[in-house]
């Protein structure tokens, strides 16, 4: 009988940690270990998902990059540079901005000015550009000549350029009152 009691005690000791109130630290440790494993598995899944998303985005960027034509990108940078120059002109010469406002309001959509040289002391504006046709250029010149702010309009250098565009040079002399008027006055200046 003594052997039976000893075996029973050994068996009871073996399962002592699983009895209520005992082995609390073991249970908490086991729970934290399982929670750590689950968290690690979730992090691995998220990491793989992010890597796949990054690869897809990089592939899309490469496709879009191949679609961009280098000449268009160069034009964008050239335009940005020109816009920055015009912004500097507007900020440093507020009365000269009347000239830009005038051009904005009076330039036809099928006319494009490529160079711009304004001499504020004489009120003389020299430009070169291109037009969609001779008729469009004629209409633009008439529009400038009829404006009461313009003293004189001269044009020349007519050539037929790339894309059948009419290349031209244009010189305008503005009345002095336009240059003395505060910027962006909307009323018509007349003498």
**CA distances for 125 relative to 67, 169, 179, angstroms:** 40, 11, 12
**62 and 98 in a common domain:** no
Which domain covers residue 6, as residue numbers?
1-67
Q: Is residue 83 in some structural domain?
A: no
Terminal CA-CA length for the chain = 133
* pLDDT digits 0-9 by tens, 49-107: 999 999 999 999 888 877 777 777 788 888 888 888 777 766 655 556 677 888 888 88
What's this model's pTM, rounded to 2 decimal places?
A: 0.47
What average pLDDT does range 137-144 have in this prediction? 92
How far apart CA 188 and CA 190 sit, in angstroms, is 6
Tokens of 146: 């009829």
CB 137 within 8 A of CB 131: yes
Who has greater pLDDT, 186 or 142?
A: 142
pLDDT at 140 over 60: yes
CATH number at residue 157: 3.30.1360.100
Please count the structural domains in the chain.
Answer: 2
Domain membership flag for residue 191: no
CA distance linking residue 163 with residue 130, whole number of Å? 10
């Amino acid at each position: 009988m003594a052997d039976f009691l000893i075996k029973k005690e050994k068996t009871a000791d073996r399962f002592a940690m699983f009895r209520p109130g005992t082995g609390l630290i073991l249970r908490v440790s086991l729970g934290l270990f399982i929670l750590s494993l689950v968290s690690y598995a979730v992090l691995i899944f998220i990491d793989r998902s992010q890597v796949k998303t990054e690869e897809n985005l990089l592939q899309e960027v490469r496709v879009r990059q191949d679609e961009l034509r280098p000449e268009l990108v160069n034009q964008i940078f050239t335009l940005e540079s020109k816009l920055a120059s015009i912004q500097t002109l507007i900020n440093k010469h507020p009365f000269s901005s009347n000239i830009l406002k005038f051009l904005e309001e009076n330039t036809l959509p099928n006319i494009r000015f490529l160079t711009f040289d304004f001499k504020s002391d004489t009120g003389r504006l020299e430009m070169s550009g291109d037009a969609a046709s001779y008729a469009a250029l004629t209409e633009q010149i008439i529009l400038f000549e009829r404006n009461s702010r313009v003293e004189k309009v001269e044009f020349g250098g007519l050539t037929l350029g790339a894309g059948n565009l009419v290349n031209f040079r244009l010189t305008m002399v503005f009345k002095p009152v336009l240059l003395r008027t505060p910027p962006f006055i909307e009323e018509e200046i007349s003498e």
